[in-house]
């Protein structure tokens, strides 16, 4: 039997701070921050996307070797992209929620799982990492990744106030992966809210029952107490004693990363100060704020966003 590779998977809805969490974890000795690997097949490989180090993916010192060694040329990348785009983000979610559907899904995705296994094993071999951090976020992709024969999956479920995420999805942000004038995708508040409900609900449904494999982390708590939050996450993968990259308090030293896809702040390096981002409180229109609150109400309560403020 092949050795299993520890993959620390960041699950949750987009614009929840997963890129900075991925980048922070990537600074830990023995960890490799891979970015949003579910997008490898479609955007980056075929559309000349950039690695976090700034080089085109194929000429990056890490990814150039990974893609060659994993023999990606033999993998039917278009089929991988088609499966991910059409199914693994959301459409397979209902099937995955049915007990014992795993075998059915695994049989449908046999070739896909073999390719994933090959890719993650190659990343571990080329980088020498004990833990690969993948911030793809989609619960469906994470569930399938956990079925890959060489993957030992651990999940950090990152939750952010849905009103903050909705506000972020409304903003026009540059996306260097999409050329000089490229912008990041945007979603209307209603769609962001419904996806927040679906993806956070699915992440809990898949993994909450496995406390040795799953930890929930609120973005707001990560920013308020980065050291304590990261220590919890490291404990999940048996690396509680690893040295954290903090210069002091909330300042962190980020080395150049080699991430595939994600928020443009993955290109950030040097000393970065983590600070709460409450811009949505003044920037989100009242109408949108009311809509998001209504559409995510059970989740807002469940994740403690409407609880009375506790005294320190
Ligand atoms: Zn690179």
pLDDT (tens place) for every residue of the chain, 312 residues total = 457 999 999 999 999 999 899 999 999 999 999 999 888 876 546 566 788 998 888 889 999 899 888 877 667 666 777 777 655 666 666 667 776 677 777 777 778 888 899 999 999 999 999 999 999 999 988 998 999 989 999 999 999 999 999 999 998 777 666 666 666 778 899 999 999 999 999 999 999 999 999 999 999 999 999 999 999 999 999 998 898 888 787 888 888 889 887 777 777 778 888 888 899 999 999 999 999 999 999 999 999 998 666 565
Beta bridge partners of 272: 252
Using a CB cutoff of 5 Å, list residues around ligand 1, an ion.
51, 53, 60, 258
Q: Is the CB of residue 117 less than 8 Å from the CB of residue 4?
A: no
Cα of 231 from ligand 1 centre, angstroms: 27
Q: Give the sheet arrangement for strand 214-218, strand by strand.
A: 31-35, 131-137, 5-11, 151-159, 214-218
* Structure confidence at residue 1 (pLDDT): 45
Compute the distance from residue 53 Cα to the ligand 1 centre, in Å. Answer: 4
DSSP 174: B
CA dist., res. 24 & res. 168, Å (int) = 21
Please give the Cα distance from 181 to 311 (Å, whole number): 46
| pLDDT for residue 311 | 62
**C-alpha–C-alpha distance, residues 78 and 305, integer Å:** 41
**DSSP category for residue 151:** E
- Ligand 1 centroid–CA 56 distance in Å is 8
**SS3 state at 105:** helix
Q: Ligand 1 mean position to 106 CA, how many Å?
A: 32
Say which DSSP state 44 is in: I
- Cα 27 to ligand 1 centroid, rounded to whole Å: 14
Question: CA-CA distances (angstroms) from residue 239 to 100, 125, 150?
Answer: 32, 19, 20
Q: Report CA(222)–ligand 1 centroid distance (Å).
A: 26
Q: CA dist 236 to 41, 133, 167, 258, 307, Å?
A: 29, 13, 31, 23, 27
Positive or negative: CA dihedral 125, 127, 130, 131: negative
Q: Quote the CA–CA distance of 247 and 97 in Å, as a whole number.
A: 43
Pairing of strands 214-218, 131-137: unpaired
Check residue 68 and give its pLDDT: 87
How many residues are given for the chain? 312
How far apart CA 33 and CA 263 sit, in angstroms, is 14
292 C-alpha vs ligand 1 centroid, how far in Å?
Answer: 37
Phi–psi pair at 75, nearest 5 degrees:
-80, 135
Ligand 1 centroid, distance to 260 Cα (angstroms): 8
Tally the C-alpha atoms within 13 A of residue 265's C-alpha that lie toward its C-beta: 15
C-alpha dihedral sign at 144, 149, 150, 153: positive
Question: What spacing in Å lies between the alpha carbon of 64 and ligand 1's midpoint?
Answer: 8
Q: How far is the CA of 131 from the centre of ligand 1 (A)?
A: 18
Q: How far is the first Cα of the chain from the last one, in angstroms, to the nearest whole number?
A: 51
- Report residue 311 as tokens: 């005294």
For residue 89, the CA-to-ligand 1 centroid distance in Å is: 26
Nearest to 226 by CA among 207, 209, 208, 246: 246
- Count CA atoms within 13 Å of residue 5 on its CB side: 29
Ligand 1 centroid, distance to 46 Cα (angstroms):
16
CA 51 to centroid of ligand 1, rounded, Å: 5
Q: How many CB atoms are closer than 10 A to CB 279?
A: 12
Q: What is the pLDDT of residue 310?
A: 59
CA of 194 to the centre of ligand 1 (A): 34
Distance in Å, CA 54 to ligand 1 centroid: 7
The confidence score (pLDDT) of residue 89 equals: 60
């Amino acid at each position: 039997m092949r050795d299993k590779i520890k993959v620390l998977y960041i699950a949750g809805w987009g614009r929840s701070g997963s890129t900075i969490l991925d980048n922070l974890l990537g600074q830990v000795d023995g960890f490799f921050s891979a970015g949003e690997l579910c997008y490898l097949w479609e955007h980056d490989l075929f559309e000349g996307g950039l690695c976090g180090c700034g080089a085109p993916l194929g000429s990056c010192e890490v990814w150039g070797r990974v893609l060659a060694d994993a023999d990606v040329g033999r993998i039917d990348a278009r089929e991988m992209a088609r499966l991910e785009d059409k199914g693994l983000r959301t459409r397979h979610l209902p099937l995955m929620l049915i007990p014992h559907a795993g075998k059915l899904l695994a049989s449908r995705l046999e070739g896909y799982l073999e390719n994933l296994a090959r890719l993650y094993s190659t990343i571990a071999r080329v980088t020498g990492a004990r833990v690969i951090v993948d911030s793809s976020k989609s619960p469906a992709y994470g569930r399938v990744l956990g079925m890959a024969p060489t993957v030992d999956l651990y999940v950090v479920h990152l939750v952010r106030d849905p009103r903050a995420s909705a506000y972020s999805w409304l903003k026009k942000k540059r996306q260097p992966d999409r050329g000089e004038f490229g912008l990041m995708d945007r979603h209307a508040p209603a769609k962001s809210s419904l996806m927040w409900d679906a993806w956070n609900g699915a992440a809990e449904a898949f993994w909450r029952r496995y406390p040795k494999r799953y930890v929930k982390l609120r973005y707001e708590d990560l920013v308020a107490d980065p050291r304590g939050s990261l220590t919890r996450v490291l404990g999940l993968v048996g690396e509680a004693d690893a040295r954290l990259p903090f210069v002091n308090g909330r300042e962190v030293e980020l080395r150049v990363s080699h991430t595939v896809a994600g928020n443009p702040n993955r290109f950030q390096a040097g000393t970065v100060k983590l600070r709460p981002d409450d811009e949505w409180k003044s920037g989100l229109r009242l109408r949108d704020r009311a809509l998001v609150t209504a559409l995510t109400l059970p989740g807002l309560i469940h994740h403690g966003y409407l609880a009375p403020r506790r005294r320190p």
